A and B are shown apart, each in its own frame.
Chain A
Amino acid sequence: MLAREMIAAIATPPGRGGIGIVRISGTGLEAMLRGLVGRVPAPRMAELSDFCDADGTAIDRGIVIYFPSPRSMTGEDVVELQGHGGPVVMDALLERACQLGARIARPGEFTERAFLNDKIDLAQAEAVADLIDSASTRAARAAMRSLDGEFSARVTEIDRAVLDLRVFLEAAIDFAEEEIDFLADSDAVERIRAVEGRIERLAIESRRGEALREGLDVVIAGQPNAGKSSLLNRLLAENRAIVTDVPGTTRDLLRADIEIEGVPIRLTDTAGLRAGGGRVETIGVERARTAIAQADLVLAVEDATAVAPGGTTASESLGDVAASRIRVRNKVDLTGEKPGDGGGVIRISALKGDGVDVLRAVIAKIAGVAPGEGAYLARKRHLNALRAASDRCAAARERLSEGFGDLAAEELRQVQAHLGDIVGTTTVDDLLGEIFSTFCIGK
């Protein structure tokens, strides 16, 4: 079996479940186990243990199971840590795993490895491919949402600055005899320091952004007066565990965090979708469309009194939306339609509460099976990549001041690789092309 780098992820759905599982897969897990639980447990035996931090203090106490290769989920060595659920403990365990050499798994990566090691039937290839694809899309969306809105734009800018630096360093290496205005090493060190500062600032700002938005993003959308706000209020009123009740950042988006069957749900109520309103309303509609574009799930609400059961639906007026959607037909208490699920439509009365339990069950089902990683993991992965990029910048400066331009160039290549991990592009760039268009080269 091929030696594979260790990857780690939280394997249980987001939320405050009683038990949370962190799963680690890869080669060399014995050292990881010794660091975490102080020993290598017997294969495939559940053992009670403390999960320890670097200084030996317990992060949590729970069950550890070690599945040596090949008899494991991925076919590689796998460790499962079953601890107390909840974001703080899970975060600490994941952080510790990374400290011990794992990196946070890309969306779908466990499944991918399982497939490549023949743990999943070939017939399931299509499903695996779809999972990787949709999980990546969803994770990217989740991360962008959880981080500052300009996050990826800023990463791209920094990436460009690193590329510019590499152009100088690589040109100085490959065209040493040309009369190019090469950066003096001391200037290059300063410029690397500046890039490092930008990466660190971005990491700090992203870290102290609003609290993690975990769980499913559900947007309520539809025509004006379809009863969207009533639905929001109904879902809030029935929810005993309201976490917060945040007024929207805009006057026309209203947000609230609720839980349905333990899964955190972030609800957003939007302005009614219609063209030709006033300027303020137009802005509201634009924002609604943005929210819809970023959502995991859209509740497309229609007014049963205004739309015939087979008429143009709110769902269709949404246009092309990536997220799953549920068609919700409201005000059935006025039309006499029978509340509940039928024919791809959920009929409710937000006012009376009829049929809302059915809607909640459907939302919970979708939340439970939503593929891929949530915003938390995506964001954690990105912050780790930023940290790694900034560490490499520091190393690049050191190597350069020691007179190892080749090692400094290697460090900067790695900086770009880490930044590329965040924005999802490869950094196999046309470095030579950049050099030729920047400098006059030619002996």
Chain B
Amino acid sequence: MKRVLTIFIIAFCISISCAHRQERQALEFWHFWTDPQAKPVIEQVVKVFERENPGWKVNLTGLTWADGHQKIVVAFGADKPPDLLELGSDWIAEFAFTGALADLNYDTSGMLLVNNAVLNGRIYGRPWFVDSRVLYYNLDLFDKASVKPPADWNELEQACAAINGLGEGISGFGANSNEPHRLYKKFLPFLWSSGGDITCGSDICLDTKPMHKSLEYYARLARAGRIDSQKNLEDAFVGGKIGVIISGGWLLQRLVKLNPPFEFRLAEMIPEEKNRIGISFAGGEFLVIPAKSANKEMALKLMELLAEKKYSQMLCDSVGFGFPPYRFFAPTDTNKMVLFNQLQNCRIASLHPQWVYIEQIIEDMVEAVMLGEISPAQAIAAAQKKIAETREN
């Protein structure tokens, strides 16, 4: 009898807790932090949020960079977006232009990269986690080739050529190929650092003087080194076989952990001419709220909490790189400082609704020139034509 009673009581409690759970309203949050190290941080913030807002629970869905974009497109297409969503910095325009994102009115002062979420005076996202791309030098190879770390494009090219001439499987510069979403992040900084851009008003204009110049320059750099996938390039750099590559904070973390038998240094992007500034690519994660969300107010609350400096910092610590998106932050490590300083001079690709298509056209263009398939002028003309066709469809 006792046992029956116990079971009854347990069953009763379970049914009550179930009923209680059903009463709580759910907030859907899609994020990309599926790394085993980072996920607990997200879950911790969510717990804090649920404690502060009884009656609400957050449903987490983890996306991956490989096909997360796909899933988001499908969700917006089916009118079933989540309440809060993490987006890569170069996707905001695509969704904002179709009216899929809500206008967030918040105080943006002191925030890094926030301009990348502002379109026509409206704020569509909140920076959450930022990282820049900088140059990594293998100083031992610089010494061996008797060259100094460069200060302008000419010196960079000469340094790479000298290191490349060392032989023994040593390369000067590392250029990217055969991977989507990589090459443009490495190429556009050169365009920007020579005063150019790919946008003119709301259009994409490739046939510009800086573009011709930087495309030719990048192809020359690639010839003073090797063309490979980012993974192979980083492997080769870690193995001491490459003089200069471009990478983000994760490589610094890996290098510090592995402690390779050579001296390395990080440096900000090199400008075309001395005493100008080198501009790099900003990798950023933004939080956005879909316009169709029924719980915008709560989503905004969760967003504020997630983007608090304390939690953003925890996220960076968990993966070992990246910065909270605030200006007043100052790392002590000199190499980390380079990454942080570069953030002050960083751009994202372009605020263009069809960026995912344009990105590939630009990458194909650079790749073809780099491999010597066609001349820069031909490649630029072909790419511009392709972009015009894309817009028509």
Q: Do A and B come from one complex?
A: no
B-to-A contact residues, CB < 8 Å: none
Q: Which residues of A does B touch, CB under 8 Å?
A: none
